[in-house]
Amino acid sequence: MAGSDTVRLTTAQAIIRYLAAQYIEIDGQEWRLCGGGFGIFGHGNVTCLGEALYDHKTELPLYRGQNEQSMGFAAAAYAKTWLRQRFMFCTASAGPGTANLLTASALAHANRLPMLMLCGDTFITRLPDPVLQQLEHFGDPTFGVNDAFKAVTRYWDRITHPAQIIQSLPNAIATMLDPADSGPAFLGLPQDVQGWAYDYPVEMFEKKLHRIRRQFPDAAEVADAAAALKAAKRPMIIAGGGVQYSRAVEELTTFAEATGIPVVETIAGRANMVDTHPLNCGPIGVTGSDSANAVAEKADVILSVGCRLQDFTTGSWTAFAKDAQIIGLNVGRHDAGKHRSLPVVGDAKLGLDALDAALTGYTAPSSWCDFAKEERAKWVAYVADNVAHGNRPNSYAQAIGVVNAACDPRDRVVAAAGGLPAEVTANWRTLDIGTVDVEFGFSCMGYEIAGAWGARIAQAEREPDQDVITFVGDGSYLLMNSDIYSSVLSQKKMIVLVLDNGGFAVINKLQNNTGNESFNNLLSDAPTIPEAFAVDFEAHAASMGATAETVENPAELGEAFKRAKASDKTYVICMKVDAYEGWTTEGHTWWEVGTPHVTDNEKVAAAHTDWEATRPKQRKGV
C-alpha cells in the first residue's frame, strides 16, 4: 500500500506521467517539453504502455504511424523545427517494430536531434523464453535487438526494475536537451517490467520547468580567436546549423555587419541569412556556390560557428588553403577542435557577443569584402539563369525556382537524399530565417515526406497558416511515401513535389562521372528489368487521400502550386525531369570518393587519374 508521499504506478504509467509533467520555457512562454509521440502498437508495447498513453492522450497526443522508420524521421523533423527545444517520443513493439527505428535513430544521432524511443523488449524473468520475435544469442542471453541502438543513441538504458526510471528519465531528458550532447535517447522496456508496480515518490511527477543551458566560452579562448581575426587579411565566417539551435541568428548578423566579414552557409546552416543580405556569400562546399567556395579558397582565417565540418562542407578538406587558420566556435568540444582549429568552446550566441566585444573597431579589408560581393553577384546571376525555364529540358532547378518564386517567405522547405539536397542548397533563395531543412547529416532517403509531416505538426503549433513544402525524387518516394496518408488522416497539410527522373539519377551521374557506364541506377539501365514502366504517382497519392495532379512543365507547375497553396489538405504535384540534363554544374568543390586504382576500363582509369589530381590540395587533420 502506497504511503501519502508515494503513488503506486506501473513502470509504463510512471514514464508517461513523468513526461506529461515536463515543461520548457521558450521566449518567455511555457510549452510542454514533449510534444507527444508517434506510435505503432504490437504485443511488446500495447498492453502496458498503450494503457498508460490512453490516460494521457490529451496532454501527449499520439500520432499513429504507418512505419516505425518514418515515425522516427517525423520525430527528428519535429525537433529540428523546434530548434531542439522540444521533442517527440516514438514507441514500437519488441522485435522488428523496434528494429525499424534504427535508421531513424542514426539520422537523429548524425544530426544531433533529440528523440525519445520507448521500445518493447523481451521478458526480464526469461520465464517464457524464447518468445515471439526474440533473437537468441546462445552465449549472452541479455543481448538482443535493442542493444543495436547503443551505436546510434546518445543515451541508452534497459529498464530492469521500475525504480530505475527515477534516474533514467531525468538523465535521458538532460542528454536530449544538452546543446553539446543532444541526440536520441533509448529506453528498452521489457514486457513484464512495463506492468510491474512500484511506489514512486509523488514529487517525481510535480511540474518541472526546463531551460536549455548556455555555456560561456573561456575568456582566454576568446582572446586567442580575437587576436587571430584581428590579424586576418581575408577572414570568413562559416555559419552552421548550430547558429539556429543557439538562436544566434541576430548575433551572427550583428557580428558580420560590425566587422564586414563575409558569411557562407553549410547545408544545415541554410537560412541563417536571407538571400539578399549583402554579406551572404552563399552555400559552401560540394553542393555549394562558386562564390562561397572562391571566398573559402582564399580565406586566411575562418570562423566556423556551430559547424561539424563534414566533408560536403569542407570539400573533403580541399575547400580551404592548407595554411588557413580555423577558429571553431562550438558548444561541443569535439567539433570545436577539428583540423587544428583554435577552439572556442561555448554557446554560439554568447561566443559571438564575446568576439564582437573583443573586435570592437575591427573591419575586414575593403578589397576583400569587394571581392566577396563580386563573386556573390556572379553566383546570383548564374542561379537566375539556372532556374529559368523555357526551351530546355525539365530540371530540379527549374522546379525549385518556380516554387521559390511563388511560396510564402515563412513556408518551410524540406529535402533529403539524392540529387535534390544539392539542387535545393545551391538554387534556393532564402526568403526568411530558419525556413530550410535539407537533411544531409545522414543523407537519408525517405526523410522527405515523413520529415515534412513531422515539421508540419511542429509548425502547426506556432505558424498554422504556413505550409511545409517537400521536394522528393521518384526513388525516395517509392522507398517511403505512406506519411502522405498520415498527413491526410491527421489533417496536417503539406505540399509534396514529386520530381520523377526514372530512377536514382544522381548516383547514375556519379557513376558516369567516374568513368562507369550507367548500370542499375536508372530503371532503363537495370539488367533485371526487361521493360520499365512509369509509376502513376498522381493516382498513387490520390489513393491515400491527397489531392494530386501531374504537370508537364515548370509553367504548369507554377499554376498547380497556386492550387496547392489554396488547398486545405495535402497536395501532391508530379512532374518528370530529365535524368541527364539540367543539373547544377557550377559551385562544386572536390569530393573524395573511392575510385578503382586498378581497372581494365580506360574511361574508369582516366577518371581515377583526374579525380586524384585534386588530392594534393587536401588538408591533413591532426
Where, residue-wise, is CATH 3.40.50.970 in the chain?
6-210, 388-576
Grid cell 581515377 — which residue? 608
- At 622 the pLDDT is 58
Question: Does residue 61 surpass a pLDDT of 70?
Answer: yes
Please give the share of the chain, as a percent, with pLDDT higher than 90.
97
Structure letter (DSSP) for residue 145: G
What number of other Cβ atoms are within 10 A of residue 174's Cβ?
14
Degrees to nearest 5, angle at CA 291 with 286 and 294: 75
Task: Give a three-class secondary structure readout of 422-438.
Answer: HHHHHHCCCCCCCCEEE
Distance CA 238, CA 335 (A): 13
- At 596 the pLDDT is 96
C-alpha closest to that of 164 among 115, 204, 134: 204
Convert the pLDDT of each residue in 275-324 to its tens digit.
999 999 999 999 999 999 999 999 999 999 999 999 999 999 999 999 99
Centroid of chain to Cα 58: 28
Q: Please state which of the ranges 139-143, 203-207, 558-562 shows the lowest mean pLDDT.
A: 139-143
Convert the pLDDT of each residue in 403-424 to its tens digit.
999 999 999 999 999 999 999 9
AA identity, residue 114: P
Cβ distance 225 to 329 under 8 Å?
Answer: yes
Region 490-513: mean pLDDT is 96
Cβ distance 200 to 14 under 8 Å?
Answer: yes
Centroid of chain to Cα 543: 29
pLDDT band at 46 (very low <50, low <70, confident <90, very high): very high
Residues in the chain: 622
Q: What is the pTM of this model?
A: 0.97
Convert the pLDDT of each residue in 562-615 to its tens digit.
999 999 999 999 999 999 999 999 999 999 999 999 999 999 999 999 999 999
Ordered DSSP codes for 105-138:
HHHHHHTT--EEEEEEE--SS-TT-S-TTPPP-T
pLDDT band at 493 (very low <50, low <70, confident <90, very high): very high
Which one is the CATH code of 388-576: 3.40.720.10, 3.90.1150.10, 3.40.50.970, 3.60.20.40? 3.40.50.970
Question: Does residue 126 surpass a pLDDT of 80?
Answer: yes
Region 149-165: mean pLDDT is 98
Which H helix or E strand runs over 182?
Answer: none
- At 134 the pLDDT is 87
Convert the pLDDT of each residue in 320-350 to its tens digit.
999 999 999 999 999 999 988 999 999 999 9
Question: Considering the domain 219-378, what is its CATH architecture?
Answer: 3-Layer(aba) Sandwich (3.40)
Region 62-87: mean pLDDT is 98
Question: Does residue 2 surpass a pLDDT of 60?
Answer: no
Convert the pLDDT of each residue in 26-39 to its tens digit.
999 999 999 999 99
Task: Give a three-class secondary structure readout of 464-482.
Answer: CCCCEEEEEEHHHHHHCCC
Radius of gyration, CA atoms only, the chain: 25
Give the CATH number of domain 6-210: 3.40.50.970
Whether the CA torsion 44, 48, 52, 54 is positive or negative: it is positive
Ordered DSSP codes for 210-237:
E----PPPPHHHHHHHHHHHHT-SSEEE
HSE of 396 in the Cβ direction (CA atoms, 13 Å)? 27
- At 1 the pLDDT is 42
Distance CA 144, CA 134 (A): 7
Centroid of chain to Cα 552: 31
Would you state the cell numbers that stand for residue 618, as one nine-digit string? Answer: 587536401
- At 560 the pLDDT is 98
- At 3 the pLDDT is 54
Q: State the burial class of residue 77 (Cβ atoms within 10 Å of its Cβ: 0-12, 13-18, 19+).
A: buried
Residue 539 backbone dihedrals phi, psi, to 5 degrees: -65, -40
Region 428-444: mean pLDDT is 96
- At 390 the pLDDT is 85
Q: What is the mean pLDDT of the chain?
A: 96
Go through 327-363 and write b for each residue having 16 or more CB atoms within 10 A of its CB, e for each that does not: bbbbbbeebbbbbebbbbbbbbbbbbbbbbebbeebe
Where, residue-wise, is CATH 3.40.50.1220 in the chain?
219-378
Four-CA torsion 486, 491, 497, 498, nearest 10 degrees: 30
